[in-house]
Amino acid sequence: MTHSTTAGKKLKKWAASLGVFALWIGLWQIAAAALSQEILLVSPGRAALRLFQLVQEPEFWLTVGTSCLRIMSGFLLALAVGAVLAVAMSRSRFLYAFFHPALSVIKATPVASFIILALVWVTGRRLSIFISFLMVLPMVWSNLDQGIRNTDKKLLEMGELFRFSPWEKARYLYIPSVMPYFVSACTTGIGFAWKAGIAAEVLGVPKHSMGTRIYEAKIYLETPDLFAWTAVIIFMSIVIEKGFLKLLKAANRRLQAREQEASP
- Residue 260 pLDDT level (bands cut at 50, 70, 90): low
Does the structure show a pLDDT above 80 at 255?
no
Q: Are 240 and 193 in contact (CB under 8 A)?
A: no
pLDDT at 262: 47
Residue 36's pLDDT is 84
CB-based burial, 80-90: b 16+ in 10 Å, e otherwise: eebbebbbebb
End-to-end CA distance of the chain: 36
Q: Using one digit for the tens of pLDDT, what is the confidence trace for 81-126? A: 999 999 999 889 999 999 999 999 988 888 888 888 888 888 777 8
Mean pLDDT calculated for residue range 34-57: 90
Sequence-separated (6 or more) residues with CB below 8 Å from residue 205:
124, 211, 212, 215
